[in-house]
Amino acid sequence: MNALKSLLRPLLLASALLPLTGCNMLLLNAPGDVAAQQGNLIIVSTVLMLLIIVPVIALTLIFAWRYRASNKAAVYKPDWDHSTQLELLIWAAPLLIIIVLGAITWVSTHTLDPYRSLSRIKPGQPVAADAKPLVIEVVALDWKWLFLYPEQNIATVNEIAAPVDRPIQFKITASTVMNSFYIPALAGQIYAMPGMETKLHAVMNQPGNYEGFSANYSGEGFSHMRFRFHGMSQADFNGWVAQNRASSKTLQRADYLELERPSEKEPVRRYGAVAPGLYKAILNRCVDTSKMCMDEMMAIDAGGGLGLNTNALAPRRRGDLRGGPVVTSAMCVTEPTATPNWGVATLAP
């Protein structure tokens, strides 16, 4: 029986470790500089905390063994209750670690602020003064991702690409519910919310094919809300852009409204052109031209609100009040007749 136990013990240990052989340590060895710095923070923070955790666990085991009931040689001091040296050690070590962690957190929070433009491409290589970031507009849909390239005037669904060693500026929003845009190899996650725009600055330093996904539950098709990120050389990226431009499809507003409908496991789609102002309309929730844009609504509120948009009889262009705003001068006027006429007087600018 003992021989059987000695044989099974290493087998059980090996079977427990077997799943770990397939683990990808991408978070701690990311090819993107921002993600790599975040991985280093995890390592440094873990090591600092282990400086306390390991000695405490070790001393707990040592004390339990040393002062066990069967050890008659251990000194028994029932009246002992204080040690200045021990108190200093117990409180000073954690305090120093907290101070160090606080300093690291303060510096890294500002350095790795996702809204902050990159200061370096990789260690020892700062961003050139004339470097222009690649702008990618991201829209989280149900349950797929839409990517717009304003500089290249193309769009893709569930696929994204960028040249290595070039700063990337993501502008991120959503169509309905909150999602989370996350490419572990590139940078940390950042939320995508309807009617709002979040930003993320990052850079990819190694060519490759990397996974991106939503890290925030958003409904039935959440599990399949995944896409591919391709890190490419500049020449390969130019070829990828040309491949998308070769598509005969143009992403018009009507196409977007159809694409916005909930669907799962969407294949990669390519659009060779994009309707002007589409991302801004998505952000302001007025792709449907019968709806007023949020920025226009807020401009009306900022200008006095309410009375500026109460005249249902006056002609106006829906979705673009800035082109010809309607100004209400009064909510009601009284005609010089016996019967009052509750109307609205308007002034056309």
Residue listed under structure tokens 């725009």: 197
Global confidence as pTM = 0.76
Q: CA 312 to CA 296: how far, in whole Å? A: 17
Please check whether residue 154 is in contact with residue 241, taking contact to mean a CB–CB distance below 8 angstroms.
yes
What is the number of residues in the chain?
A: 349
Low-confidence ranges of the chain (pLDDT < 50): 4-5, 8, 18-22, 308-349
Please check whether residue 41 is in contact with residue 104, taking contact to mean a CB–CB distance below 8 angstroms.
yes
208 contact partners, CB below 8 Å, separation of at least 6: 31, 185, 230, 231
The predicted pLDDT at position 144 comes to 96
2 contact partners, CB below 8 Å, separation of at least 6: none
Phi and psi, residue 204, nearest 5°: -105, 130
Phi and psi, residue 111, nearest 5°: -65, -40
Range list of β-strands (E), 151-260: 154-157, 159-163, 168-174, 179-183, 187-192, 198-202, 208-214, 226-232, 250-251
| Digit-coded pLDDT (tens) for 1-39 | 555 445 545 555 555 554 444 456 787 889 999 999 999
Q: CA 338 to CA 115: how far, in whole Å? A: 63
The domains of the chain, with CATH numbers, are: 25-62+85-112 (no CATH), 125-283 (2.60.40.420), 294-347 (no CATH)
| Digit-coded pLDDT (tens) for 259-298 | 999 999 999 999 999 999 999 999 999 999 888 999 888 8
